[in-house]
Amino acid sequence: MKKILIVIGTRPEAIKMAPVVKTFLNLPNEFDTHLCVTGQHRQMLDQVLDFFNLIPDTDLNVMQPNQSLSTLSSRLMDGITSVINSFNPDFVFVHGDTSTAMIAALCSFYLQKKIVHIEAGLRTYNINSPFPEEANRQIISRLASLHIAPTLNCKMALIEEKIPKKNIIVTGNTVIDALFLGLKIVENSPSRKLLEFKREIKNSKVILVTSHRRENQGLGILEICKALKIIANDFPEFQIIFPVHLNPKILTPVYEELSGLDNITLLEPLDYELFIWMMKRSFLIITDSGGIQEEAPSLNKPVIVMRDITERQEAVESGAVVLVGNKKERIVNEVRKLINNKDYYDKMARALNPYGNGNAVSEIIDLIRELDG
């Protein structure tokens, strides 16, 4: 029986790894699976675990107020090393580009464990954008034994970095598996919280907004707020829904700038259940999130990305996503274009999702079955 350690720390990791974890757990005769959460996101992580009914075997609970990346990394290394030593896995699964993923990969490398990197090969090649994620994922790629690439572009990036082709597999992105699984839960057994939330969103036309990236803190978030004020004034028939990230560098300016406006609704970060319903309900989405760039095309929602560069270039090339940066003029102009030009909107909404059809997890499981422990 192969021993599988899966390490996650943040909400995006939990979402994208939930179908992986659940599938391994549903095969107890083949795999001994241990789920370790670090708590790099606490409240937001717990919401996702609850929604997907996942119970960690280990919870390191590493986060402290105003913790530096150095302190976080140190606490992660101590905790993850202890888990690896006690469980002695054959494979350690990490996801993406978080500090949790990078430190878990480093600990696994030190202890000579095979590292499986889900969502491998994303690149901006700007080491400071996004920070520290670009550095994290490049480091993981130097350490991983198996690279699960979501797209052919990601595979080619890895090959250019001299990663052996035999160690790379293209599966699509597990976020699509998670989205379809989540929507099935929402449709078949919605929570009381979701039913109450649905009653609060009365406007038929909704623009969904999220922002959390470091590059949009400071002057960036102020520009975004100015843009949203203009949009709210120009299109009073639309309701702007903005679940605001808990980071004070986002939370404080957003509430200072946007509180009290009639058609802008500021919310606490939404549970994953509420958020995927809100994505499906929206007319368009304005975001700096990587995951939303992958999910929204499966829901036929145009996405305006408030970043200058993206590691998800496939979405831009497919026409489902447009990059505008964080300058108010570009954000406003793109929203106006999507609202006023039906042909332009329909073209974006109909773009094919380059991140797969929801079969990534089954391909990953089949691959691990074939490998030696």
Give yes or no: residues 204 and 293 share one domain: yes
Question: Which tens digits make up the pLDDT trace of 300-352?
Answer: 999 999 998 888 888 999 999 999 999 999 999 999 999 999 999 999 999 98
Look at the chain and report how many structural domains it folds into. 2
- 48 in a domain, yes or no? yes
Read off the amino acid at residue 66.
N
Give yes or no: residues 318 and 340 share one domain: yes
| Residue 212: active-site member | yes
Say if residue 203's pLDDT is above 80.
no
Give yes or no: residues 219 and 328 share one domain: yes
Give the pLDDT score at 265.
94
Give the pLDDT score at 373.
65
Q: Nearest Cα to 207, choosing from 334, 51, 369, 365?
A: 334
Question: Which tens digits make up the pLDDT trace of 6-18?
Answer: 999 998 899 999 9
Peptide bond just before 248 cis, omega within 30 deg: no
Question: Which tens digits make up the pLDDT trace of 18-62?
Answer: 999 999 999 999 999 999 999 987 877 898 999 999 999 999 999
- 183 in a domain, yes or no? no
C-alpha gyration radius of the chain: 20
Among 88-92, 195-199, 322-326, name the one with the lowest average pLDDT.
Answer: 195-199
Compute the distance between CA of residue 137 and CA of residue 120 in angstroms, rounded to an integer: 7
Tell me which DSSP letter residue 221 carries.
Answer: H
- 269 in a domain, yes or no? yes
Give yes or no: residues 245 and 335 share one domain: yes
Give yes or no: residues 330 and 365 share one domain: no
- 187 in a domain, yes or no? no
Q: Nearest Cα to 6, choosing from 83, 85, 98, 63?
A: 83
Compute the distance between CA of residue 38 and CA of residue 25 in angstroms, rounded to an integer: 19
Give the pLDDT score at 312.
85
Give the pLDDT score at 368.
97
Expressed as residue numbers, the domain containing 248 is 192-349
Give yes or no: residues 39 and 99 share one domain: yes
Give yes or no: residues 168 and 210 share one domain: no
- 185 in a domain, yes or no? no
Say if residue 202's pLDDT is above 80.
no
Give yes or no: residues 335 and 364 share one domain: no
Please give the average per-residue pLDDT across 202-220, as a whole number.
88
Please give the average per-residue pLDDT across 71-93, as a whole number.
97
CATH of the domain at 338: 3.40.50.2000
Q: Which tokens is 46 given?
A: 């717990």
Say if residue 191's pLDDT is above 80.
yes
Query: Mind giving me the DSSP string for 153-175?
Result: HHHHHHHHTT--GGGEEE---HH
* H-run or E-run covering 286: strand 284-287
Please give the average per-residue pLDDT across 120-146, as a whole number.
95
Q: Which residue has the tokens 């989540």?
A: 182
- 45 in a domain, yes or no? yes
Strand partners, 241: 208, 265
Give yes or no: residues 26 and 48 share one domain: yes
Give yes or no: residues 64 and 168 share one domain: yes
Give yes or no: residues 345 and 362 share one domain: no
Q: 7 and 106 in contact (C-beta within 8 Å)?
A: no
Question: Which tens digits make up the pLDDT trace of 240-281?
Answer: 999 998 889 999 999 999 999 999 999 998 989 999 999 999
Active-site hit among 34, 95, 117, 212:
212
Say if residue 217's pLDDT is above 90.
no
Read off the amino acid at residue 368.
I
pLDDT category at 214 given cuts 50, 70, 90 is: confident
